[in-house]
Amino acid sequence: MLGQNLKRGIVIQMDARLAGYTASAENIASKNDDMMQQVTGRIGLLGGEEFLYIPYEPNQITYVETELDCISSRFTGCVMAAFMWGGKRCVAHVATPECNEKWNDLKEKITLLSEFNPSRLFNKKNNILRVKAANETKFSGDTPTSQSDCFGIIDSKNKKYGGFLVSTRMGAHTGLSQHTVSSCVPIT
């Protein structure tokens, strides 16, 4: 269970090459006017357990068909959801507000298993987390060398988790990335 195992200081390494990922070949389906885009996801390992990373794509609902735990990031207001569609479990990153209407229409055709907004950790009650995230972003000139990021997890049992991590790319065009967990909490 990915969410239960992520504690402060844990380092996750992901190799996008394991999923056949390249910057131009990550998507199974092309972007379309329907705002739905199936993706392969990126494979990650933690303690020998596989999970999938679902990329954020502006103006799209990106989703994977999987029974695995899933993580996505770059949340500033988007929704993460798990649902049954065509007899298959899907997990999605829903870009909002651009896809709100499409997402509401889709919810009438699917069986919703879990849905939440991970960035609610940014609310006024958790202002300390917002300041911490900003302080953990490091720059070389104007370019972030490591970046704090809000993430969400929906595990294989549809439990939800949210938190922050600091992401670092490990060399240009390698597909390797390293993510150090700052916090991870269950979302109820």
DSSP string, 146-177: EEEEEEEEE-TT--EEEEEEEEEE-STTS-EE
126 and 133 in contact (C-beta within 8 Å)?
Answer: no
- The domain locations on the chain are 2-187
Q: Reduce the DSSP state of residue 37 to 3 states and report it.
A: strand
- Residue pLDDT, tens place only, 97-137: 999 999 999 999 999 999 999 887 655 555 445 444 444 44
Average model confidence (pLDDT) across the chain: 76
What's the confidence (pLDDT) of residue 171? Answer: 62
- Residue pLDDT, tens place only, 147-159: 667 889 999 999 9
Question: Bridge-partner residues for 114, per DSSP?
Answer: 82
What region does 175 belong to: left with phi over 0, alpha with psi -120 to 50, or beta?
left
What's the confidence (pLDDT) of residue 15? Answer: 58
Average pLDDT over residues 53-65: 89
Residue 91: name the closest of 161, 166, 183 by CA: 161
**What's the angle, vertex CA 90, arms to CA 39 and CA 35, rounded to 5?**
55
pTM of the model: 0.78
What per-residue string of b and e applies to 31-56 under the rule 16 or more CB within 10 Å gives b? eeeebbbbbbbbbbebeeeebbbbbe
**Of 144 and 38, more confident:** 38
Phi first, then psi: give them for residue 68, nearest 5 degrees: -80, 165
